[in-house]
Structure 1
Amino acid sequence: MITIFYSDKFLQHETGYMHPEQPERLTAIVDKLRSSTIAEQIQWVSPSSSRNVIPAIEQIHSSNYIQEVRTYSERGWGCFESTQISPQSFEVACLAVSAWLDGIDVVSQLKRPAFVLARPPGHHALKDEGMGFCIFCNAAIAAIYAQSIGIQRVGILDWDVHHGNGTQAAVENIPNMAFCSIHQSPGYPRTGKPDERGKYNNVLNLPIAPGSNIQDYCKLFEERVIPFFKDFCPDILIISAGYDANQTDLLSKINLQPQDYSIITDYCLEITPKILFGLEGGYELESLSSSVLETVKRCVDAFV
């Protein structure tokens, strides 16, 4: 059994015609999971709508930026770089944060994986700026929250094809936090160099070349990622689970296939079963939904 946090309200963040980060991303995943052979092994949970998430968001983002997002939503429009703001965006982004915090609670209690199926994504959002389709930096907010409830050592793995610059900026100077990103280079947002190590030697950036495939990922996991996290010994692992490294995804030039995410998920479960997966990128609907299914299947099979 795996808990998946989802709400139809996440569909109300409108990004405009032909924008890659569309509501259909979630409906494709939900349809795929509900029609799968593991459908009965999924516990669907609505995120808490009564949780006051503003104090948690303020741990990462400035009050001025939070108010700016709110104001743009009240106006009915706004834009931060490639991040669109629509009338419901502030409320939906806050609900997404709530889902990530709920996920931390569940993983810490059950000591098994959970998945946050929410949008907008978050790993590019900076203290004072939304970028890369992201509004609030969900993974970093969840990591800070985890420490606030007594989880001492928090690991964050970002396997999205783009570097999680917002997440790294938020956590690289915090004790007992470890951040690792595997990302295409060159590529957006042109950050994440290998020599960025963090204040406590707690950052591991692993740029990969266009054209890389699952064999390249396996080598990185076996030689770099797993040793990095095994040395750190995380009490929980937060994964920025982007699926835009698929060969069919137009926003990258990496050659993963949906079934490869089963292998990647197995590597993560080798680090710890206490994993919170949270959706980031992935924009080709069939490969996205199939890849999420592969991740969820492996988590279910690991606890049969």
Structure 2
Amino acid sequence: MSTPVVVLAGFLGAGKTTVLNQLLRSAADVRLGVVVNDFGAVGIDALLVAGWADSAVSLENGCLCCSTDDGSVDELLARLTAPRRGPGLDAVVVEASGVAEPSAMVRRVLTTTVPGVRYGGLVVAVDAVEFEATRLRHPQLDDHVAMADVVLLTKTDLVPAEEAARLAAVCRGLNAWAPVVPAAKGQLDPRLLFETPPARQRQLALGEVVHDPGDPGTHVHSMYDAVEFRSEAPLDPRRFVAFLERRPSGVFRVKGFVRFAVEGSGQRYLLQTVGAAVRFERGAWPPGSDRATELVLVGAGLDADALRRDLRDCVHDGEPLRDEMAMMGVLRSTEGV
């Protein structure tokens, strides 16, 4: 399974480092590789104690998007994801410089030649306190929001609720597909960005180093809902792709395994979405498995009954489909195709 590389961008002061620190605090059982511009503000001591010093890479010249085409980006990702003893990284987070251009950074990740890594989405942090002032200073903010896979509205605890709602509406007007996630005090559930595996047996978990029982960030997962769906019958690929394209804005992530009702497509499709980004990976079904579709939808304010009803509408009854074009929507988002 490939390792997602998530780009975390935002202008100076938007709260990117705070978000990254909260991810490190709350993702106790996730092995994160991090690329940061300045270790000083990040909990690097916790990384060192947890035994992951070789999974934190500093950018001496500050900006990843400004590096030359000399393979340096590939070198960074190769160092982070190099084979090592025990399980590898679950995800890599690249915290961009406050002057970095997100589109250039995304292109560098998309064009990497490092095997076993994939683009995991662009997350743009937007300061709720300085939103209008930032737009005046940096008109390109609107473009950054428009290209984001997830928009983080930071510092919402410092503005009135109605103002936070207004700013969220502005962001949705700029980007109708990406979820706009409030991130008060930088709190963000890692499940919204990448897979969080079951707890593993290992020497020391990062969360055991920095865990603070009184820190509300350690319970950030309680801010979100999870809806599970299972179907023994296969899904119609066209209907399912249409569901993904029109899913409610409150659905931040969809993940799981899918079986499609198309003749000759007997493979298992691993689905991972981050905001507007949709990615399938093909693979074989494990011997003896039920070959059932199993999905988890993560978000806020979810209507579980409506989501399950829409997913049931994607179930195909009858003989397998023989239309060779039925899978085109899936294949466009399938890794390696």
Q: TM-score, normalised by structure 2?
A: 0.29
Structure showing greater Rg: 2
| Structure with higher helix content | 1
| Structure with higher strand content | 2
Q: TM-score, normalised by structure 1?
A: 0.32
